[in-house]
Structure 1
Amino acid sequence: MKALLTTTLVFLVAASVVSQTVRKYSNEFMNIGVDAAAMGMSNAVVAHSADVNSGYWNPAGLVHVADKQLALMHSSYFANIANYDYLAFAMPLDERSAIGVSVIRFAVDDILNTTQLIDEEGNINYDRISLFSTADYGVTFSYARNLPLDGLNYGVSAKVIRRIIGDFASSWGFGLDAAIQFETKNNWKFGIMARDITTTFNAWAIDEEKFAEIQNAIEGENQELPETTEITIPKLQVGVSKKFIFRYDYSLLAAVDLHVRFEQNNDIISTSFASVTPSVGFEFGYLDMVFLRTGVGNFQNELQIDNTERVSFQPSLGVGFKYKGIQVDYAFTDIGDQSVALYSNVFSLKLDFSIFR
Structure 2
Amino acid sequence: MQRLIWGALILCFFGPTLTAQKYSNEFLSIGLGARAQAMGGAMVAHVNDASSSFWNPAGLQGIETDLQVGLLHAEWFGGIGKYDYAGFGMPIKGQNKYLGFSFIRFGIDGIPNTLSLYEDDGSINYNNVTEFSAADYAFIFNYAQKFGKLAVGASPKVVRRVVGPFASSWGFGVDLGAQYQYSKNWAFGAQLKDITTTFNAWQFSFTEEEKQTLGLTGNEIPIQSFEITKPQIILGAAYKKTFNLPTPEGKKARSIGLLAELDMVATTDGQRNTLISASPFSIDPALGLELNYNRIAYLRMGLNNFQRFENFSGEKELTLQPNFGLGFRISRFYIDYALANLSASAGGLRSHIISIKLDIDYDYIKQAIQKEI
For residue 6 of structure 1, what is the aligned residue in structure 2?
none
For residue 107 of structure 1, what is the aligned residue in structure 2?
107
Q: Is the 8 A contact 1:215 1:222 kept in 2?
A: no
Q: Equivalents in 2 of 1:137, 1:207: separation in Å? A: 19
Deviation sequence 1:7-54 (CA, Å, 0-9, x none)? xxxxxx989x45x83223221101100100111110111100011111
For residue 146 of structure 1, what is the aligned residue in structure 2?
146
CA 24–228 in structure 1, closer or farther in 2 if over 3 Å, else same: same
For residue 295 of structure 2, what is the aligned residue in structure 1?
288
Task: Return structure 1 stretches of 4+ with deviation > 4 angstroms.
Answer: none
Q: Is the 8 A contact 2:260 2:290 kept in 1?
A: yes
Please report the TM-score for the alignment, with normalisation by the length of structure 1. 0.90
For residue 82 of structure 1, what is the aligned residue in structure 2?
81
Q: Equivalents in 2 of 1:343, 1:232: separation in Å? A: 27
For residue 130 of structure 1, what is the aligned residue in structure 2?
130
Q: Equivalents in 2 of 1:294, 1:183: separation in Å? A: 23
Deviation sequence 1:301-345 (CA, Å, 0-9, x none)? 123344321111000000000121100000001399645742111
Q: Is the 8 A contact 2:267 2:282 kept in 1?
A: yes
Q: Equivalents in 1 of 2:121, 2:283: separation in Å? A: 56
1:258 matched to 2:264: yes
Q: Equivalents in 2 of 1:339, 1:275: separation in Å? A: 23
Q: Equivalents in 2 of 1:89, 1:134: separation in Å? A: 26
Q: Secondary structure at the match of 1:55?
A: helix
Structure 1 stretch displaced more, 36-45 or 304-313: 304-313
Please report the TM-score for the alignment, with normalisation by the length of structure 2. 0.86
Q: Equivalents in 1 of 2:190, 2:14: separation in Å? A: 17
Structure 1 stretch displaced more, 165-174 or 259-268: 259-268
Q: Equivalents in 2 of 1:48, 1:284: separation in Å? A: 14
Q: Equivalents in 1 of 2:205, 2:343: separation in Å? A: 42
Q: Secondary structure at the match of 2:292?
A: strand
Q: Equivalents in 2 of 1:191, 1:325: separation in Å? A: 26
- Matching of residues 160-179 of structure 1 within 5 Å: 160-179=158-177
Supply the AA of the counterpart residue of 2:291: F
Supply the AA of the counterpart residue of 2:186: W
For residue 352 of structure 1, what is the aligned residue in structure 2?
359
CA 230–127 in structure 1, closer or farther in 2 if over 3 Å, else same: same
CA 221–312 in structure 1, closer or farther in 2 if over 3 Å, else same: farther
Q: Equivalents in 2 of 1:218, 1:77: separation in Å? A: 33
- Matching of residues 190-269 of structure 1 within 5 Å: 190-209=188-207, 213=210, 216=213, 219-225=216-222, 228-247=225-244, 249-262=255-268, 263-269=270-276
Coordinate RMSD, CA, aligned: 2.3
Identity of aligned residues (%): 39
What's the offset of the Cα at 1:178?
0.2
Q: Equivalents in 2 of 1:130, 1:63: separation in Å? A: 48
Q: Is the 8 A contact 2:194 2:231 kept in 1?
A: yes
Instruction: Count residues in correspondence.
Output: 342
Q: Equivalents in 2 of 1:234, 1:339: separation in Å? A: 29
- Matching of residues 66-81 of structure 1 within 5 Å: 66=64, 67-81=66-80
Q: Is the 8 A contact 1:240 1:256 kept in 2?
A: yes
Q: Secondary structure at the match of 1:133?
A: strand
Q: Secondary structure at the match of 2:46?
A: coil
- Matching of residues 1-12 of structure 1 within 5 Å: none
Q: Secondary structure at the match of 2:140?
A: strand
Q: Is the 8 A contact 1:36 1:347 kept in 2?
A: yes
Structure 2 unmatched ranges of 5 or more: 1-12, 245-253, 367-373
For residue 315 of structure 1, what is the aligned residue in structure 2?
322
Q: Which has the larger radius of gyration?
A: 2
Structure 1 unmatched ranges of 5 or more: 1-12
For residue 21 of structure 2, what is the aligned residue in structure 1?
23
Q: Is the 8 A contact 1:334 1:342 kept in 2?
A: yes
Q: Equivalents in 2 of 1:333, 1:110: separation in Å? A: 24
Supply the AA of the counterpart residue of 1:154: V
Q: Is the 8 A contact 1:328 1:349 kept in 2?
A: yes
